[in-house]
Amino acid sequence: MRTPEISFRMKRTTGSAEERAICCAFSFAQKSALLFCLGAVLLFLSGCGGSSSSSNNSSGTAQIAGNWQFTMTPPSDGSFLGGIQGGFLVQNNSTVTGGVVYNVQLPPSAPGGIPTVCSSGSAPVTGTLNGGRVSLTVSAGDQTFTLDGGLSSDGTTMVGTYTSTASKGCGTKQAGLQWTALLIPSVSGDIQGNFHSALSTAVAQGQDVVVTGSLTQGPNIGASNATVTGTLTFQGYPCLTTASVNGQISGNAVILQLIGTNGLNVGQIGAPIGYSKPSPVNVVTSAIGTVLQGAFGYGITTSACPGGNLAGDLGDVCIAIGSSNGCTQPITLSPPTLAFLPQLVGSAPTAQTIMLTNSAVSGTALTGLSISFNPQSGLTSPFGASDFNEVPNFTEQDNCATSPGGTFSLAPLQSCSITISFSPQQSCPWLPSVSLGGVAPSSCPYPLKAIVTVNTQVSADSLTAFAVPITGSGLSAIVPTTPEVDFGSEALGESSAPQTFSFMNQGNTPVQILPALNTPCVNPTTGVLTLVRPPFPGLIGGLQVDTNAIVRNGNTINYSCDSDLTSQKPNFQISGDNCSGTLLGPQSSCSVQIMFVPQPNTSLASGLDYFLELNTQQCNSTTTVDCEIDSGRFPVELTANVASPLRMTPGAGLDFGLQTRGTASAPLTITIFNDPKDPHAGIVNFTGNSVKGDFLETDNCLGSLAPGASCTMNVTFQPRVVGFDQGTITVTYAVQQTQIIHLRGIGQ
């Protein structure tokens, strides 16, 4: 007959993730062995991770120490909402101390309204735990909450009733109302999840970004919150790549600042940046583990994204702690973004493929899927797919649906392909465009964009659109040596010194620059030229200066030429031109000279911002039926300063060209002359210069500048970025009058 055995299991109750059970088996027939084993168990208690008597409660039940999220039933008289929210408790024997966050709100004045915060902050907690019975007192401002209840045997839940004192304008005295509290697990560990973009004006509404990294929760010191630090990596996301995390957790509420490699705040997990009443990301526990989850607007907010009208992006976030599938989306799109290499305008299409996969290993098929494609998302031209021929830059084909735009299904792990073809139809938009605020772009080629979106009814967050942003750029056949020519101020009747720049054909075939017009390009009565779509039976000049008014009207384009209605002369005059009428061969160039000559009926109150247009004709056949007039037009912006006695030579702009990042360029110089012939001539008193961008300026323009006198400014360029880099110098004088010097260069 087998001798009976008894097992003792002693388990840590401190909440450590490394709890271990110990077992001592012995023969019941040996009394001495029993006593020995009992003594051994007591000795093993501290050696195997158990707590000493100073940290256990006297009853031997579960402990109350940890991070708790409280929920309080509001009073029936509607005098307040909310109350204690979350915080940390520490137990020593039967004594409980800690800190919590409280937020007492007044109900909305009308149905559907927003509650008003009446009293909020952090509050100390004192109390006891005896035999599983809990008693807590919280001093929340001038209001005291007393909580009585019980702790569950597993130490994860507290339930009971509370009383509260009256508060000045924040609630009446209450008794017998229910409260609950849940123990929130630590958010320490490796993480894997996703960020789902929700802004249509950012990179791509619906773009799903894989997020990986690790988080570490700080120790419980009985404060109302604990620190959370770590690192995150965003895969294939242009707004963020890597960031360190510095934030806090209180109850189930998490707010984390994202710090870039430059030490600056580049985003936030929690409330969007600038929100005065943050709604944080919450810790959610379920069968799949611990998840940080935030709905639209309270997930991740980024402070900067390229190509959007807003400063950043925001959207849903789902981050699983120590789990590889806690935040798995039902579909994957690979790659998450498409970027095409620059191509000559009108060149043969190039193609890339996106694989759409039902990422579920098992389960039911995804049904009702559909694909939508926007071939001109973010396009700056107001004229559709391209400025004249309206051929799209991007096209889409897929083998997912049986008919274009139809619905389809994907079984678990089944894939289909989406093919995007790119043939750029423009380098820069037909300018100036409404979306650019009526001004020319700072640099060309201007990005061309498209978005392909997969729509589903299932998602790990509240968003069910999965998008892939697509970018590319078209290289113009004709490019100028500078994107912008800037002039200082000139008085009526004066002319600036001419500024010279060139156009080069970087294409593989000759391009015909249209001949100059012998008559003004503008109707002298209306100031508007009506231009018919290609092949242009009407008048058009090879080189002409246009103002910032363009309207599309059917098959015509109406825009205003730079022609003063009184003098019928332009303010920016082409004084030299060996481009018009030229058949410009590959790698050949021609030159243009421009002067600023202010006209009597043109207001200079805010300066001028026009553009020089080079009109070309490049046909795909000898019939001239399919002609694109711009050949990838690259217009040159022309600016002039407001009225002033100050003259600038060689002009009010400096172009530094290519410069190695992190190294300083050779200085470029501008001479400032106080024109004694100006109608408002007089002594100019300088009050200081303001420099913006990666530029450094020194000058001898100190104090006063008498009429007829001049001073010089020396400017160097030290780019911190790769790519187009611009800045300004604002020269301030007299009573807050200013002159602007435009600076630009390209970091490499």
* pLDDT above 90 for 163: yes
Residue 436, pLDDT score = 42
* pLDDT above 50 for 247: yes
* pLDDT above 60 for 307: no
Query: For the chain, how many residues are written?
Result: 748
Residue 569, pLDDT score = 85
CA–CA separation, 84 vs 593, rounded Å? 73
Per residue in 9-46, pLDDT (tens digit) is 333 333 333 333 223 333 333 333 333 333 333 223 22
| In the chain, domain spans | 5-47, 66-184, 189-328, 332-475, 476-642, 644-748
Q: Over pLDDT 70: what percentage of the chain?
A: 77
CATH of domain 332-475: 2.60.40.2310
* pLDDT above 60 for 621: no
Per residue in 564-579, pLDDT (tens digit) is 878 878 899 999 999 9
The H or E element spanning position 46 is helix 31-47
More confident residue, 263 or 221: 221
CA–CA separation, 441 vs 288, rounded Å? 49
Of 99-108, 627-636, 659-668, the range with the lowest mean pLDDT is 627-636
* 659's tokens: 């410069």
The H or E element spanning position 610 is strand 608-614
Per residue in 480-503, pLDDT (tens digit) is 888 889 999 999 999 999 999 999
Residue 653, pLDDT score = 94
- Beta-bridge mates of residue 590: 503
Residue 593, pLDDT score = 95
More confident residue, 382 or 552: 552
Instruction: Give me Rg for the CA atoms of the chain.
Output: 35
Residue 388, pLDDT score = 57
Say yes or no: domain 644-748 is CATH 2.60.40.10. Answer: yes
* 711's tokens: 């001073």
Residue 49, pLDDT score = 31
The mean pLDDT value for 497-511 works out to 89
- Number of Cβ within 10 Å of residue 343's Cβ equals 19
Q: Report the SS3 class of residue 563.
A: coil
Of 19-28, 109-118, 355-364, 672-681, the range with the lowest mean pLDDT is 19-28
Per residue in 189-220, pLDDT (tens digit) is 999 998 888 876 556 788 888 999 999 999 99
Of 9-18, 108-117, 183-192, the range with the lowest mean pLDDT is 9-18
The mean pLDDT value for 311-330 works out to 83
More confident residue, 548 or 645: 645
Of 183-187, 424-428, 526-530, 602-606, the range with the lowest mean pLDDT is 526-530
* 620's tokens: 């795909």
**For residue 294, what pLDDT band results from cuts at 50, 70 and 90?**
confident
Residues 300 and 314: beta-carbon distance below 8 Å:
yes
Contacts of 740 (CB under 8 A, 6+ apart): 607, 641, 652, 728, 729, 730, 731
Residue 632, pLDDT score = 44
What is the DSSP pairing of strand 572-577 with strand 583-584? Answer: unpaired
Per residue in 428-455, pLDDT (tens digit) is 765 444 444 444 555 677 778 888 999 9
The mean pLDDT value for 357-372 works out to 89
Residue 729, pLDDT score = 94
More confident residue, 381 or 666: 666
CA-based angle 266:271:272, to the nearest 5? 50
- Highest-pLDDT range among 2-6, 169-173, 524-528: 169-173
The mean pLDDT value for 411-429 works out to 89
Q: Class of the 66-184 domain? A: mainly beta
What is the DSSP pairing of strand 314-321 with strand 289-294? Answer: antiparallel
The mean pLDDT value for 98-116 works out to 86
Per residue in 720-729, pLDDT (tens digit) is 988 888 899 9
The mean pLDDT value for 672-696 works out to 92
User: Residue for token digits 């934030």?
Assistant: 247
**For residue 522, what pLDDT band results from cuts at 50, 70 and 90?**
low
The mean pLDDT value for 496-517 works out to 87
Q: Report the SS3 class of residue 36.
A: helix
* pLDDT above 80 for 244: yes
Q: Read off the amino acid at residue 477.
A: A
Alpha carbon dihedral 453, 212, 366, 370, in 10-degree steps, equals 0
Residue 500, pLDDT score = 94
Alpha carbon dihedral 583, 587, 590, 591, in 10-degree steps, equals 160
More confident residue, 40 or 61: 61
* pLDDT above 70 for 557: no
Q: Class of the 476-642 domain? A: mainly beta
Stated pTM of the model: 0.70
Burial (CB count <10 Å: 0-12, 13-18, 19+), residue 587: exposed
Residue 605, pLDDT score = 86
Residue 288, pLDDT score = 75
**For residue 529, what pLDDT band results from cuts at 50, 70 and 90?**
low
Per residue in 592-619, pLDDT (tens digit) is 999 999 999 888 888 888 888 787 775 5
The mean pLDDT value for 343-369 works out to 89
Residue 447, pLDDT score = 77
- The yes-or-no answer to whether 476-642 and 644-748 have a common fold is yes
* pLDDT above 70 for 112: yes
Average confidence score pLDDT of the chain? 80
The mean pLDDT value for 527-556 works out to 58
CA–CA separation, 510 vs 318, rounded Å? 55
The mean pLDDT value for 256-265 works out to 87
Residue 647, pLDDT score = 94
Q: What are phi and psi of 605, to 5 degrees?
A: -60, -35
Residues 672 and 700: beta-carbon distance below 8 Å:
no
The mean pLDDT value for 59-65 works out to 72
* pLDDT above 60 for 262: yes
Of 200-214, 272-286, 626-640, the range with the lowest mean pLDDT is 626-640
